[in-house]
Chains A and B, each alone.
Chain A
Amino acid sequence: MPQAVYAFVVSLMRYFFIAIIVYILVRIVYHSLREYGELRRVKHWLSDGYAKYIEFLPPYADEEGGFVLVRSNLIGRSPRCDIFIDDHSLKRRHALLYERKGEEYIRPRRKASLWINGERPPKRTASLTDGDLVRLGNVTFLFKLRRAPLEAYDEQG
């Protein structure tokens, strides 16, 4: 590449590099703030005695009980999922349970089946409330956001 053209391209790229790193910085800060907000909310809930979890109905109800929901949880047939159930009606990765601004949402993958309280939700992503009965394929679970009146979550480790 002739020297003059190269010099020109390099001059142009200066702005590009600056834009990229500023974008990366802003994005990291934004996500960090969001994460920080959610962590604070979780700790708040815990200190008030709330717990957020799902309980599977038979035949997948097990002795352990419920699955606590922290950050985002992938449900599916693959062992790499956060919550995995070996049922053929489930896709390898069936749905994602995540939290946004205090609300819990469930988002199934394309063409994955989802029924909430017996109905198909209007939009692909649906929010869940305490007591919702969720069905993925042939697997059903209850979403619970409950509060126990006992000891608040204490900060001691």
Chain B
Amino acid sequence: MSAMGLLGIVMLFELSAFALLAFRSEGFDPLALLFALILIAVLFLQYVCMLWISKYADRFILVIANLLAAIGMIVQYRLSPDTAFKQLILYGAGLLAMFVCVAIMHKPALFQKLNWVMILGSLGLLCVLMAVGKEHGGAKNWITIARVSFQPSEFVKLALVFVSANYLTTRRSWRGYWPSAVFAIACCGLLVAERDLGAALLIALTYLILFYIATGNVRTTLIGMGAGCMGAAASYVTFDYVRARVAIWKNPWATYETSGYQIAQGLMAIASGGAWGLGLTLGSPKAIPAYNTDYIFAVICEEFGIIFGIAVIALYLVFIIRGALLALNARDRYLMLIAFGCTSLITLQSFIIIGGVIKLIPLTGITMPFVSYGGSSLIASMMLLGILEGVAMRNGEMLEDAMDAAMEECRKEERAHAG
């Protein structure tokens, strides 16, 4: 059941894409091939290390995550080799963070001890954001420390999953888990105040999902959703930028010169690609604003085609299904909630951004997990992958323990018979 064959194909994909990029201008660009070799080596090492840590690691989500990251970097390299190299470095950092998470997941209870650290840390970061945050695309979501900028909202997401899982596991009634609800609402509120609507939506929905899973209390969940909808409606009425977002969702061509420009360009790019795509380097992706981050899916559809785009969506879906299976097989409740919380994060994030790009839902400013350019996004996603791998390993170990116990019973019975 080795996935080595699969790895080989992924490596072939990366190699051929970069080879194509290497010959793009008149001369030969050796950096492209170097990039490919680094990616291949990193992929191989990652796979081997993960399996060395535990044979129960989930190789397929590992492959999917790395494939998505590779697609992202291929497109980044095509757009601008400098950002691609930056992305590569951040990818390395993400891998380190991933292995750290895997290590911590050896003892998941550790996260429970860090509960209050995470709560205060998240709220603190968000408040700091309010104060000194830099604006980017209308939302204040960047903090710069010593020339390094990052997005705290990405890490707050993960903190939310852990905090909610913690409270929803140990306490069974409202008196027990109200702190998690308050935390979620607080984060949401702060994010809305900072105009980061995508992250607020993500946090609200993830919390509601976890709440529903843990308690099965349909009524309260629906009340929560209702409150959320009313909040959304209120924000529509009060904030003009929300109104603007909905207006350009309905008809981006009407305001082409100003606000609808991005969506219109994205749609034109996707339509120009057609089923098979225009071909790597033969499109004009730079016409789309935010081609690096939010709209990278449109660039993929333009150059690789819609069939490829659908395959990417399918890869996300397989990742999600495997994540949910990890949650279903989890031996204890805490791990189950963590696994499903992480899965929900990836689901919601990818659905919201892809839906926004194809104009299914209004556009929000969040990134595509693994694929988009953005250090915080990539590192947080890799940490998420590490957490899921940790859950997979714990699942496997617990299964093995159970099988050991069964074996012991058999042997005991044998000895009883023999003796």
| A and B held together in a complex | yes
**In the bound complex, how far is the Cα of B63 from the Cα of A23, in angstroms?**
13
Q: How far is the CB of B276 from chain A (nearest CB, A)?
A: 5
CA distance A29 to B325 in the complex (A): 13
Q: Is the CB of A28 within 8 A of B64?
A: yes
- Let me know if B1 is at the binding interface, CB within 8 A: yes
- When chains A and B are docked, how far (Å) is the Cα of A49 from the Cα of B408? 11
Chain A nearest CB from B388 CB (Å) reads: 14
Which residue, A17, A25, A32, A148, has most C-beta atoms of chain B within 10 A?
Answer: A17
CB pair B16 A16 closer than 8 Å: yes
A70 contact from B9, B325, B400, B409, Cβ within 8 A = B400
B398 touches A157 (CB 8 A): yes
Contact with B along A35-68 (1 / 0, CB 8 A): 1100100100010011111010000000001101
- Alpha-carbon distance A22/B3, docked complex (angstroms): 16
B6 touches A27 (CB 8 A): yes
Given contacts A28-B318, A157-B333, whether A51 and B308 have CB atoms under 8 Å apart is no
Residues on the A chain within 8 Å of B414, using CB: 146
The residue of chain B having its C-beta at the shortest distance from the C-beta of A151 within the complex is B409
- CB neighbors of A among B398-416 (8 A): 398-400, 402-414
Give the interface size class of chain B. 35 or more
Is the beta-carbon distance between A25 and B311 smaller than 8 angstroms?
Answer: yes
Known contacts A14-B304, A32-B322; decide if A68 and B400 are in contact (CB<8 Å): yes
Taking CB atoms and an 8 Å cut-off, the chain B residues in 39-90 that contact chain A are 55-56, 60, 63-64, 67
Q: Are A39 and B409 in contact (CB under 8 A)?
A: no
* Chain B residues within an 8 Å CB radius of A39: 329
Contact with B along A4-40 (1 / 0, CB 8 A): 0011011101111110111111011101101110010
**A17-B13, A46-B403 known; A66+B411 contact, CB < 8 A:** yes
A144 contacts the other chain (Cβ, under 8 Å)?
A: yes
Q: A25-B318, A50-B406 are in contact. Are A6 and B23 (CB under 8 A)?
A: yes
B17 at the A interface (CB under 8 A): yes
User: Please, how many angstroms separate the alpha-carbon atoms of A18 and B383 in the complex?
Assistant: 29
Q: Are A22 and B318 in contact (CB-based, < 8 A)? A: no
Contact between A18 and B16, CB atoms less than 8 A apart: no
Report B-chain residues with C-beta under 8 Å of the C-beta of A15. 276
Do the beta carbons of A11 and B279 come within 8 Å of each other? yes
Complexed CA–CA distance, A13 and B398 (Å): 46
A66 partner, pick from B276, B331, B398, B407, beta carbons under 8 A: B407
Q: How far is the CA of A49 from the CA of B405 in the complex (A)?
A: 10
Which residues of A have CB within 8 Å of B361?
A: none
Asked if A115 is at the interface (CB within 8 A of a chain B CB), the reply is: no
Enumerate chain B residues within 8 angstroms of A35, measured Cβ to Cβ: 1
- B400–A28 CB distance below 8 A: no
Contact of A146 among B55, B64, B318, B410 (CB under 8 A): B410
Specify which chain A residues have a CB less than 8 angstroms from the CB of B409 in the assembled complex: 49, 51, 148, 150-151
Smallest beta-carbon distance B302→chain A, Å: 12
Please report the C-alpha to C-alpha distance between residue A133 and residue B310 in the assembled complex, in whole angstroms. Answer: 51
Residues from chain B with Cβ under 8 Å of A17 in the complex: 13, 16-17, 280, 304, 308
CB neighbours of A18 from chain B (8 A): 276-277, 304-305, 307-308, 311
Contacts of A36 in B (CB 8 A): 325
Question: Are A10 and B280 CB-contacts (below 8 A) given A21-B311, A27-B9?
Answer: yes
> Is B380 interfacial (CB 8 A cutoff)?
no
What are the interface flags for B10-28 relative to A under an 8 Å C-beta threshold, 1 for contact and 0 otherwise?
1011001100100110100
* B1 A98 Cβ-Cβ under 8 A: yes
A144 to B406, CA, bound (A): 12
Taking the nearest CB of chain A, how far is it from the CB of B409, in angstroms? 4
Provide the bound-state CA to CA distance between A68 and B408, in Å. 10
Chain B contacts for A28, CB-based, 8 A:
6, 60, 63-64, 315, 318
Judge whether B386 is part of the interface by a CB distance below 8 angstroms.
Answer: no
In the bound assembly, the distance between CA atoms of A103 and B70 in angstroms comes to 38
- Residue of B at shortest CB range from A21? B311
B131 CB-CB contact with A under 8 Å = no
- Nearest CB in chain B: distance from A28 CB, A: 5
Question: What are the residues of chain B within 8 A of A149 when measuring CB–CB?
Answer: 413
Query: Are A13 and B280 in contact, with the CB atoms below 8 A?
Result: yes
Q: Is the CB of A31 within 8 A of B3?
A: yes
Tell whether, in the assembled complex, residue A14 and residue B305 are in contact, meaning their CB atoms are under 8 Å apart. Answer: yes
A54-86: CB near B (< 8 Å → 1, else 0) gives: 010000000001101011100000000010000
B281 at interface by CB-CB < 8 Å: yes
Interface string of A124-157 (1 = CB under 8 A from B): 0000000000000000000010111111010001
B residues at A contact (CB < 8 Å): 1, 3, 5-6, 9-10, 12-13, 16-17, 20, 23-24, 26, 55-56, 60, 63-64, 67, 276-277, 279-282, 304-305, 307-308, 311-312, 314-315, 318, 321-322, 325, 329-333, 396, 398-400, 402-414
16 A-B pairs with CB atoms under 8 Å apart are A7-B279, A9-B20, A14-B280, A14-B305, A17-B308, A21-B312, A25-B311, A28-B60, A28-B64, A28-B315, A31-B60, A32-B321, A36-B325, A51-B407, A65-B408, A144-B410
Q: Which 5 A-B pairs have the closest CB atoms?
A: A157-B331, A157-B332, A148-B409, A51-B406, A10-B279
Q: A10-B280, A10-B282 are in contact. List 5 more A-B contacts (CB 8 A).
A: A1-B26, A31-B6, A31-B60, A148-B406, A153-B405
